[in-house]
Amino acid sequence: MKGTDYIKDHLFLLIFQALAMILLALFLSAVGNGAGTVGFITACWLLLITAWLSADYRLRKKRLERLLKLADALEERYLIAEVMDKPARADDRVYYRILSMAGKSMLEQVSAAKRERREYREYIEQWIHEIKTPLTALKLLCGNNKSEVTRTMLLELEKLNHFTGQALYYARSETVEKDYLIREILLSDIIHQAVSDNKQLLMSNGVRIRLEDCGHTVFTDEKWAVFILNQIIGNAVRYRRENPELLFDAVRTEEGTALRVHDNGIGIPPEDLPRIFEKGFTGTNGRLGNSSTGLGLYLCRRLCAKLGIGLSAESDGNGTAITLAFTRNSFCRLTEEG
């Protein structure tokens, strides 16, 4: 709070005090007091009111600054009334009560929103689990009755599985820490599982798969890691060229192991590259085919952040390379040394 603001807030009080001083001086002069006496009494009054206003200004400024620091330190600032001291002034107590009422109302709304969000997420998860049963049955039927039609159906069923899986992982991405199991696993096993999940998609588009030096082990959650690779593979197939190829190449680094997934597709324009991990961003290539949702790489970024996996992308005229950096923590190093 500035001094000028404080003066403006007490302007009527200052005017009243000034008028009172003038009237008192006139009265004292009228009853026969000399100029010295009148001046001394007026000076004392002025000194007292100045001292009181100065002390009140410093106290209120200190209190308000402490309150602002307290509010800045809070993550949920609507709880400020719960941690601040109850004020002594009557008008401040009214504002304090209003803040308490507003905080209580906000807490009720936040709780209701969280409850609705949790119920909706639980419904989505249940629905996805239910829909997977007929999808699996259809896949088995197509596998037992092989024909050109069933091969096409298998491809579409694979796409359905991809989208239902994406919806499930999107619903769970906020609470991934409750649904993961970190263990040592071969990179090649993760890659083979992801390739198997996209077998029909890769075969129908003639995508060649190559693995180079993928026998390294990493510490991660297999299910989430496979999901991340599924998104990368889906993008590589979507933006392919003739004679598409997908190369998985792993290398040891000082921090751990880096898995590079490189395709020979159409690549990503330089102006789009910094934004490909943003939610809903489809870019120039995504708008051409009207098939991109802008969620795949966004989910990859969120899951990598939760799992401690580095995620980066580079692109040129020869395709796009997505790098997953699996870092080693102290537990991993002890395990490797043992």
For residue 198, pLDDT over 80 is answered with yes
Rg (CA), the chain: 35
Q: Where are the domains of the chain?
A: 3-105, 183-337
Tell whether the torsion through CA atoms of 117, 121, 122 and 124 is positive or negative: positive
- Residue 48 corresponds to which amino acid? L
pLDDT at 262: 94
Instruction: Give the pLDDT mean for 148-168.
Output: 83
pLDDT at 311: 94
pLDDT at 288: 64
Give tens-digit pLDDT for 237-261.
Answer: 888 888 899 999 999 988 889 999 9
Instruction: Give the pLDDT mean for 34-52.
Output: 89
Quick one: which of 315, 122, 160 has its CA closest to 232?
A: 315
Quick one: which of 275, 271, 198 has its CA closest to 229?
A: 198
Q: Long-range CB contacts (< 8 A, 24+ apart) of 101-109?
A: 102/78, 103/78, 103/79, 106/78, 107/78, 107/79
Tell whether the torsion through CA atoms of 234, 235, 238 and 241 is positive or negative: negative
DSSP 207-253: -EEEEES---EEEE-HHHHHHHHHHHHHHHHHT--SS-EEEEEEEE-
Contact 28, 36 (CB under 8 A): no
Query: Residue holding tokens 């796009």?
Result: 320
Q: Decide yes or no: CATH 3.30.565.10 for domain 183-337.
A: yes
Least confident range of 155-159, 221-225, 263-267, 275-279 = 155-159
For residue 336, pLDDT over 60 is answered with no
Quick one: which of 249, 196, 193, 203 has its CA closest to 226?
A: 193
For residue 303, pLDDT over 50 is answered with yes
188's enclosing H/E stretch is helix 187-197
Cβ density class 298-322: b for 16+ within 10 Å, e for less: bbbbbbbebbebebebebeeebbbb
Strand partners, 169: none
